[in-house]
Chain A
Amino acid sequence: MPKSTYYFWVGVFLFVIFSIIFLVYFATMRIDYVWAWHKIPSAFLYHKQVEVRAEIQGTVASITPEKDQSLIKVKGTGEEEAFTVPTKDLRVSVNDFVYPGDVLASYGKWQAGIMLQGVWITLKVSLFSIIFGIIIGIIGGLSRISDNPAAKWLAITYVELIRGSPLLVQIFIWYFVVGTMVNQLLLAYGIHEIPGLWYGVAALACFTGAYVTEIVRAGIQSIGRGQIEAARSLGMSYAQSMRYIVMPQAMRRILPPLAGQFISLIKDSSLLGIIAVRELTKATREVITTQLNPFEMFFVCAALYLVMTFTLSMFVQYLERRTQTA
């Protein structure tokens, strides 16, 4: 392709992209949408004013400074209370008389907003699901190719059930059926309930595990019979041949489809909002209800998912390069 033609098509590319952006902007102007990008940072990080108030009526008995923190002791009739606050933010001095609700100290501090918490929950849920998904997938994949009918058919049943039903329904089943059952049982024995987040993790891990099972099976089966025959003919057991010969080679072929699966998993974690897990998408929707800026927030939300999935795919590419010998 001549240089001039090449640059022409690069121009076309840029024109299409900017046209789409402009069209969206133009459309929002026509419906009088007020863009409020400036509200977004506060959804991530905000300055919170903390006021420490007395709870009883009495006098400030003592203020003991310790580095830049101070211990305030308030003595009432027959009761006492104590607070630790930054020294420079003190609003009372010794022997001051205080009523309940009087401000003893007031200071500001930076706090992670709901969006940052949402990102953290999404990362946490995804990470646990990936780890459990890999474990389930390896066990499932090995069972799938096993000669043992019980192991093999269990693996097939599991994979077909999971792949044949919607993830949304599976999340409902985990939360409303399994979750109710388990939590009721735990309650009956006086044990703490398991938070909904873990049923979400279980649903995602089981869902991903089924796909990883098929990926692992395909990876192992892509290694020629000759490899395992050579290993066995040297006197290695089946397990040793798998561990030293087949798995290391299969791993290299498994990595790219596995990366795709885990990228899907991060995106699928957005469904957990429906069982009250406040992950990124749910957090976004909560912010929108107060800030009333859905356009900006959903774009930001999408961009954050993109950052996470892109980081993961970069990491997997790095792993692939590292396992590429010769």
Chain B
Amino acid sequence: MIEARNVFKTYYVPHKVEALVDVSTRIAAGEVVVVIGPSGSGKSTFLRCLNHLETATSGHIIIDGVDILNPKTDINKVRAEVGMVFQSFNLFPHKTVEENVTLAQRIVRKRSKKEAADRAMALLTKVGIQDKAAVYPDQLSGGQQQRVAIARALAMNPKVMLFDEPTSALDPEMIGEVLDVMKTLATEGMTMVCVTHEMGFAREVAGRVIFMDAGRIVEVGTPEHFFKNPTHERTKSFLSQIL
């Protein structure tokens, strides 16, 4: 489903930073991958490279058979198949909850008004905020906003969902509701790549955990391997600090 081959990302402004160094991995359909690592380790950059919000400096990123680093690729088409959930929700504040979920369906997927509205209602029900369809995002709590953001991404019927620290901006008591939605998605067989600090989620849901540091993939393994007997020193020290 996703294949990253020798991906490099280097920033030159304001000074040279190697954000990603020779990152290669494959993510199969239906797999749930959790990416962890200290801040500045390149995990968010990697995730954002996967839907071309950041352009990798070199290498290949192949999504569903299409190399998105090929300049001839219609990136909008690929992005429609890749849902993304942001740390800061990024709901559209001038649109109601329902409009947030229907807008891209109408514009990008060219669905009819009714079809889009039906799908929006079904998804809002799924994430448990169907009764807030007509309100504006600023009247929702952070957890509710993030669930709308998930519904908005799902509305496009994506083949992959990318989560960029979806719970990091939330009050502690709201983290659970968002994680529950993500767990449901995982059990339904959605292909997911999650950058998160929620080790409980990683342990419970992840099929595979990727640990990144200084722009490189340091260690890859199952949650059992990771949390019981990590091999690398860097992984050990990171885990000992956060667990």
Contact = CB atoms under 8 A, between A and B. Distances in A.
Interface of A: 224, 226-227, 229-237, 240, 244-245, 248-249, 252, 325-326
A240 to B, nearest CB: 6
Interface in B61-120: 76-77, 79-84, 86, 88, 90-94, 103-104, 107-108
B139 interface: yes
Nearest to B77: A235
A232 B55 CA distance: 14
Interface of B: 51, 53, 76-77, 79-84, 86, 88, 90-94, 103-104, 107-108, 135-136, 138-139, 149, 152-153, 156
29 contacts: A226-B86, A227-B92, A229-B53, A229-B86, A229-B90, A230-B92, A230-B149, A232-B53, A232-B76, A232-B79, A233-B51, A233-B82, A234-B80, A234-B104, A234-B153, A235-B76, A235-B104, A235-B108, A235-B156, A236-B76, A236-B104, A237-B76, A244-B107, A248-B94, A249-B93, A249-B94, A325-B136, A326-B93, A326-B135
A102 to B, nearest CB: 72
B175 to A, nearest CB: 20
Given A235-B104, A326-B136, A230 B90 contact: yes
B92 to A, nearest CB: 6
Contact of B88 (A226, A233, A235, A244): A226
A296 B63 CA distance: 76
Contact of A236 (B82, B94, B107): B107
Contacts of A236: 76, 104, 107-108
Nearest to A229: B53
Contacts of B94: 248-249, 252, 325
A232 B82 CA distance: 11
B73 to A, nearest CB: 13
A172 B91 CA distance: 50
A326 B139 contact: yes
A230 B81 CA distance: 14
Contacts of A245: 92
